[in-house]
Amino acid sequence: MVEALLNIENLRKSFGGVLATDDLSLSVETGKIHAVIGPNGAGKTTMVSQISGALRPDSGRIVFNGEDITRFPPPTRSLRGIARTFQITSIFHEFTALENVSLAAQAHDGHSFRFWQPAKEEDGLTEPAKEALELVGLEDRAQVLACNLSHGENRQLEIAMALVTQPKLLLLDEPMAGMGADESKKMVAILNGLKGEHTILLIEHDMDAVFALADQITVLVYGSAIASGLPEDIRLNPEVRAAYLGDEE
């Protein structure tokens, strides 16, 4: 029986009068890719933000690797092994791609109360950063300023920043958002390569990618899970088809 790396239990979150997360429970098994799909406004990003710690749930529990992390702030969760990418690209625009990833490596390499040695010359930071860039195919763009990268490259950079921290759990929030067909194919290949070694919670709208990658799928509608299970079962589930998939495939 494979252990669940992440357990969300009865999560509730409302903003003013709007219930964004409605008694949500979900489990992500170690080594699997668990996709979360659903219409816009279903509360997918809100859920990710609660797992990463950017938002505090009103009630419920989040258990990660056997530990109750519900009250932990984001940096602590990151150091515990949760890495997140953002739906709307969130990187360091004035830094190069390499510097962006090195910074993520730096966060996980002890404290940063070092005032003297130039960080750029620390191989302990730049080597892992270069490896992460290679993994996502950005090794040639390492010295380019992040603000000068294309949108697709930014999405790849987000993944590299997550990978370099050697996370136990990757929270990927629409990594393929705004990508063209070719770039999406590249991204699916990258994510496929991560299977097994990493545990991934993937939010995506691209159904081809979802069904190609996912071991498990949960469908989120109005903040609660209306179905959860194997991709084939989800595809055939009548409620899911009515709420989201329509009658495609």
Partner 1 sequence: MKVNRETIVCVLIFLLLAMVPAIAALTDVPFYLDLARRMMILAIGALSLNLIMGYGGMISFGHAVFIGIGAYTVGICAEHEIVSGYIQWPLALIISAMFAVVFGAISLRTRGVYFIMITLALAQMMYFLGVSLDRYGGDDGLPLAEPSNFSGLIDLSEKTSLYYLVFGLLIFCLWICQRMVNSRFGMAIQGARSNEERMQAIGFPTFRYKLTAFVIAGAMAGLAGALLANHTDFVNPDMMHWTRSGDLIIMVLLGGMGSLSGPIVGALVFILLEEALSGITEYWQLIFGPFLILVVLFARGGLLGFLEKARELKPSLDRDNG
Best CA proximity match to 201, nearest among 227, 177, 175, 166 = 175
Q: Which of residues 24 and 163 has its CB atom nearest to partner 1 in the complex?
A: 163
What CA–CA distances, in Å, run from 241 to 100, 203, 205, 217, 248? 41, 18, 14, 14, 8
Q: Does 113 bind partner 1 (CB under 8 A)?
A: yes
Contact stretch for partner 1 (CB under 8 A) within 11-19, 34-42, 101-109, 229-237: 101-109
Q: Does 108 bind partner 1 (CB under 8 A)?
A: yes
Rounded Cα distance between 86 and 172, Å, is: 7
Contact stretch for partner 1 (CB under 8 A) within 35-43, 75-83, 133-141, 217-225: 75-83
Q: Where is 97: in which H helix or E strand?
A: helix 97-107
Q: According to CB under 8 A, which one of 23, 122, 139, 208 is a site residue for partner 1?
A: 122
Q: Does 95 bind partner 1 (CB under 8 A)?
A: yes
Least distance from C-beta 163 to partner 1, angstroms? 11
Best CA proximity match to 169, nearest among 88, 53, 55 = 53
Q: Which of residues 158 and 206 has its CB atom nearest to partner 1 in the complex?
A: 158
Q: Does 86 bind partner 1 (CB under 8 A)?
A: yes
Q: Does 104 bind partner 1 (CB under 8 A)?
A: yes
Residues in the chain: 249
What SS3 class is residue 176?
coil
Cβ atoms of 29 and 3 within 8 Å: the answer is yes
Interface ranges with partner 1 (CB under 8 A) = 52-54, 73-76, 78-79, 83-84, 86, 90-95, 99, 102-104, 106-108, 112-120, 122, 161, 165
